[in-house]
Amino acid sequence: MSKQTVKESRTTAVDSEKLNRFIGQFVTDFGAAMHAPTIIIGEKLGLYKAMAGGAELTSQELASKTGTSERYVREWLSAQAASGYVMYNHLSGKFWLSPEQAFTLADESSPAYLPGAFYIASAVAKDEPKLEDAFRTGKGVGWHEHDGNLFRGTEMFFRPGYSANLVSSWLPALEGVVAKLEKGARVADIGCGHGASTIIMAKAYPKSTFIGYDYHGPSIEVARETAKREGVDDRVTFEVASAKTYPGRDFDLVAVFDALHDMGDPAGAAAHVRQSLKPDGTWLIVEPYANERLEENLNPVGRIFYSASTMLCTGGSLDQEVGVALGAQAPESSIRELVMRGGFTRFRRATQTPFNRVFEAKP
């Protein structure tokens, strides 16, 4: 078969079975896209939380509990049931949350609390025109330029994973770090956002002091308010600064959570981290899970991260100086190379989860 024949077969022959599978995928995706805003509404109005007790409720009962309109709530419940986000009893005409649904949709302390992801999806949908323009011009789209749902959603989405893993497994995977934290260490959290990771560490290690840095001023204001509300503001401070300019020296631990790939000059940031550490200090780097090659990342997790990287991470990096644009699926080899270029002599993957790689770098 000639190359021309192969090309024609790829562009003109339609396999009806494959077509139907692809249309089925479209129906699933379109339904998910349409369903996403209803999840945000359910979170904002407390609809999921009002159903968390497990009791069956009519639309009128749920509306009365939440001070909302019954007609809207009735349609919302039908959408949730069709999506598998609530249960429906056709005999009683009532709705309820299963324990698994309540665990992921109504319990903010849950390590699997999910609504934050949909705030992020809402933000990127609203910002699509900015990304369209960036595709045409090649310009960056800064983190600060995105819709406000992104900042709230990022904290809501990542906090459960940090709560589940940071103290229990990530920090213990680092050489000698927990002992220092228990005794009293100085810690910097770079790109801290609303401060979820900083505050989790502070609450676990009361003898240590923590400074969170982020270039986004509004996020730092939220972090300060949260630290005060959580009662850790006596040993946690938050300051506006970038990864290459934050002040301070002699840190025992510097942490960067899901932010290194967003930086315009990650090698420059690595050099700044290196000079801010004590000689025996540690750099903790948490990045989205990814395999080394593209074909190994063509899966549901990779789909999420590549899409987020297209809409958020790549543009955020291109908006900064250098603009390396590593992307959220940067291979470990690329991360290792830039870390070593920053002056570190040791680098290893300390542990991992299905969604994260946890790296340790030493001077």
Residue 4 is predicted with a pLDDT of: 52
Final residue in a domain of this structure, among 71, 89, 107: 107
Q: Is the pLDDT of residue 301 over 90?
A: yes
Instruction: Say yes or no: 54 and 162 in one domain.
Output: no
Number of domains in the chain: 2
Provide the terminal-to-terminal Cα distance of the chain, rounded to the nearest Å. Answer: 57
CATH of the domain at 93: 1.10.10.10
Average pLDDT score over residue span 181-207: 98
Instruction: Say yes or no: 290 and 204 in one domain.
Output: yes
Q: Which domain holds residue 217?
A: 116-362
CA 326/CA 318 separation, integer angstroms: 10
Q: Is the pLDDT of residue 156 over 70?
A: yes
Instruction: Say yes or no: 10 and 90 in one domain.
Output: yes
User: H or E stretch including 182?
Assistant: helix 177-183
At 54, the pLDDT band (50, 70, 90 cuts) reads confident
Final residue in a domain of this structure, among 44, 79, 107: 107
Instruction: Say yes or no: 133 and 277 in one domain.
Output: yes
CA dihedral 128, 214, 252, 197 (to 10 degrees): -60
- Judge whether 38 and 74 are in contact, CB under 8 Å: no
Instruction: Say yes or no: 15 and 56 in one domain.
Output: yes
pTM: 0.92
Residue 11 is predicted with a pLDDT of: 61
Q: What is the DSSP letter of 57?
A: B
Instruction: Say yes or no: 156 and 280 in one domain.
Output: yes
CATH of the domain at 347: 3.40.50.150
Instruction: Say yes or no: 83 and 222 in one domain.
Output: no
SS3 344: coil
- Whole-number percent of the chain with pLDDT over 90: 95
The 10s digit of each residue's pLDDT in 111-152 is: 999 999 999 999 999 999 999 999 999 999 999 999 999 999
Residue 1 is predicted with a pLDDT of: 45
At 5, the pLDDT band (50, 70, 90 cuts) reads very low
Structure tokens at 169: 């497994």
